[in-house]
Structure 1
Amino acid sequence: MRSVLRPRRLAALLAAGVLVLGACGYDDTVVPSAEEEATAGGGGSGPSPVECDNPTQSYAPSDDRAAARAQLVNPGQLVVGVSADTLKLGSADPEDGFAIKGFDIDVAQAVADALGVTLRLRVISAAERIDLLGGDADGDGEAPEPQIDLVVRNMTMNCTRWSQIGFSAVYYNATQKVLVREDDVPAFEKDGLESLDGKRVCAPAGSTSIDNITEKQPDAVPVAAANHTGCLVKFQQGEVDAITGDDTVLAGLAAQDPYAVVPDQEKLTDEPYGVGANKDDVALIRFVNSVLEQRRSNGEWQRSYDRWLKPYLGDARPPAPSYGR
């Protein structure tokens, strides 16, 4: 039976407008403020970019449960860092005791079930992901003790992060796309990014999303918000005409606004999601990969995708894994 830690600061969070559709924090972790999310980066100037041949390549799968369980921070528990306010990936359901649900949560639950341990969800910010896994987020050569076993929080795999932590094989191939109003869908599907000429496009401040849209459509007017929730507020108030970001995040925004649509379009960038782990926990990573293999082959991945993301993003198939580390 899943163990989910109950909220201590729900009332304060709702009053502050931090969460959408009843999403809430669990455990003792404080859901970050808008200012914290806008500057999320792990502190300091961060490590220098690292190059590698294939950032999506992981370790070959293994079903050695004992070896994987031996690497857990707390025996008998799988502690997983997740989001609680990213609708359709990981968000609290106010109609079910604020249990956190979504595509990412299905992955975490599957790993815990296969390990035969209790799943403990810990709400974390994007900035905390590397540190809580025991990675050197600042690039200063000092890594803290790990506090969690895995991160399943729409985390893009890249070479720099591989120098800090380890990853599973890709469990979802996200892409950066654009969300527009329903009335603007025909023009966008006909002309693509050209239809955004002179239009106000929102993305989180300091994000690669806002940089990418500026590069690919310099005639658009970039508008920054603290996070994607802030972008949705601006969109609903008529302050912006479109929002850009990972398609998974846009799916959650579209689910909250009947006039918001993610049209058929060419991707702006690739954002391959992997399950993050401490770089020394290779046995655990191999076990996670065996679970991901099973979910691809037995239809669990497809059922989860169809439930959470297909209504907003259309058809998709499980990503092919790459091994060889």
Structure 2
Amino acid sequence: MSRGRASSVRVRSVGVKRLVAVVSALAVVAAGCGSPGAPVDPAPVGSVEQPKPANAGPAQVDVEGAAAEDCNATASLPPQGGIPSGSTMDEIRERGYLVAGVDQNTFLFGFRNPTTGTLEGFDIDMAKAVAKAIFGDPGKIRFRAVTSAQRIPALTAGDVDIVVRTMTINCERLKEINFSSVYYVAGQRILVDENSDVRTLADLEGQKVCASKGSTSLKNIAKAERKPIPIQVDDWSDCLVMMQQGQVEAISTDDTILAGMAQQDPTTKIVGERFTEEPYGIGIPKEDKDMVRFVNAVLEDVRGGEWQKSYDRWLAGPLGSAQPPAAKYK
């Protein structure tokens, strides 16, 4: 056999072997894909509970501690403008900015604009008015987001200079902090699904009703005669999520807060009349009485025009016309 012919034979032989190997491999793959057998269920699952917001659950409320007191709570210290040397306001001015505890989850009062990322709302306008009075510039302010339950601890720890966060003035809270004069009066009502027949708390006997931890609303739910089940959350937006998921039957808090929720979710409605009166004040540390007088002077100016502008921008649409509440002083 010639050298050329021998080489040709060896090449054909190698080619045949490679073809056989490929065909064998394909046969193995085909055999593996032919019959997958019965599927295996490694972890049978029954019913699955929907996830809840962090820290959401049944509320433990001290109803006895919520008893009404008569301390003339809404009467604040008389206003006094100016910034004397060594005053609380002077120290804030030296620092270069005001620190305000606010909400960032309550639409219309304190919320983060999804387009600009800035905090906006009626309470934000009130806080900026204080900064403007100290610095001549409403932008010299740093906001610190606090939950309802964090409002008083933030003030007593000195983490913030003021708290402007839909905060009801009452005798119990006045034992720990000071308040400005009243800058808004709200009232507690109920938010439910648009198809609900609920009209009052009495209609919610034995059913779950959501409110924010540390709020007066939660205590009012717990005190209700027909015993709804109070469910507490960190932020009001968590209540709306839980109601949308069917984890609570209703939300009950100030009509101001509910109005924002109803605008965010048109499939809900506010029902019933106000069954409480909630006078809002700016929270201030107990020892800073000069700051209380200064903030009251700011609010006197705000009532002269800026209050109405802010109200008309944020609240007149869902809540109707209103005027600033008259101040009461000791």
**Same structural fold, with TM-score higher than 0.5 when normalized by the shorter chain:** yes
Q: Does 1:270 align with 2:277?
A: yes
Matches within 5 A, 1:1-325: 34-35=54-55, 51-66=69-84, 67=87, 69-72=89-92, 75-96=95-116, 98-116=117-135, 118-133=140-155, 135=156, 144=157, 146-184=158-196, 192=200, 201-204=209-212, 208-213=216-221, 215-216=223-224, 218=226, 221-222=228-229, 224-227=231-234, 228-263=236-271, 265-298=272-305, 300-324=306-330
Structure ID, larger Rg? 2
Pairwise CA distance, 1:78: 1.0
How far apart, CA to CA, are the structure 2 residues paired with 1:49 and 1:115?
38
Q: Are the counterparts in 2 of residues 71 and 281 from structure 1 also a CA contact under 8 Å? A: no
Q: Give, as a single letter, the amino acid of the residue that structure 1 aligns with 2:283.
A: G
Q: Are the counterparts in 2 of residues 69 and 75 from structure 1 also a CA contact under 8 Å? A: no
Mean Cα displacement is larger for which, 239-248 or 285-294? 239-248
Instruction: Please list every run of 5 or more consecutive structure 2 residues that lacks an aligned counterpart in the other structure.
Output: 1-50
Mean Cα displacement is larger for which, 271-280 or 48-57? 48-57
SS of the equivalent of 1:302 reads helix
Pairwise CA distance, 1:319: 1.3
TM-score (norm. length: structure 2):
0.70
Q: Are the counterparts in 1 of residues 208 and 249 from structure 2 also a CA contact under 8 Å? A: yes
Pairwise CA distance, 1:37: 9.9
How far apart, CA to CA, are the structure 2 residues paired with 1:290 and 1:39?
38
| Deviation per residue, 1:271-294 (Å, 9 max, x gap) | 211111122222221111111111
Pairwise CA distance, 1:60: 0.8
Q: Are the counterparts in 2 of residues 262 and 313 from structure 1 also a CA contact under 8 Å? A: no
The alpha-carbon distance between structure 1 residues 121 and 38, as it changes in their structure 2 partners (threshold 3 A), is farther
Return the structure number with greater helix share.
2
How far apart, CA to CA, are the structure 2 residues paired with 1:314 and 1:248?
11
How far apart, CA to CA, are the structure 1 residues paired with 2:192 and 2:147?
27
Instruction: Please list every run of 5 or more consecutive structure 1 residues that lacks an aligned counterpart in the other structure.
Output: 1-16, 19-32, 42-46, 136-143
How far apart, CA to CA, are the structure 1 residues paired with 2:57 and 2:83?
36
Q: Give, as a single letter, the amino acid of the residue that structure 1 aligns with 2:90.
A: A
How far apart, CA to CA, are the structure 2 residues paired with 1:257 and 1:169?
33
Q: Give, as a single letter, the amino acid of the residue that structure 1 aligns with 2:82.
A: D
Aligned to 1:28: none
The alpha-carbon distance between structure 1 residues 50 and 218, as it changes in their structure 2 partners (threshold 3 A), is closer
How far apart, CA to CA, are the structure 2 residues paired with 1:153 and 1:294?
20
Q: Give, as a single letter, the amino acid of the residue that structure 2 aligns with 1:304.
A: S
Instruction: Kindly tell me the number of residue pairs found equivalent between the two proteins.
Output: 271
For the aligned residue pairs, the C-alpha RMSD in angstroms reads: 3.3
Q: Provide the identity percentage.
A: 42
Q: Give, as a single letter, the amino acid of the residue that structure 1 aligns with 2:131.
A: A
Pairwise CA distance, 1:88: 1.4
SS of the equivalent of 2:183 reads strand
Pairwise CA distance, 1:82: 1.0
Pairwise CA distance, 1:91: 1.2
TM-score (norm. length: structure 1):
0.71
Pairwise CA distance, 1:162: 1.6
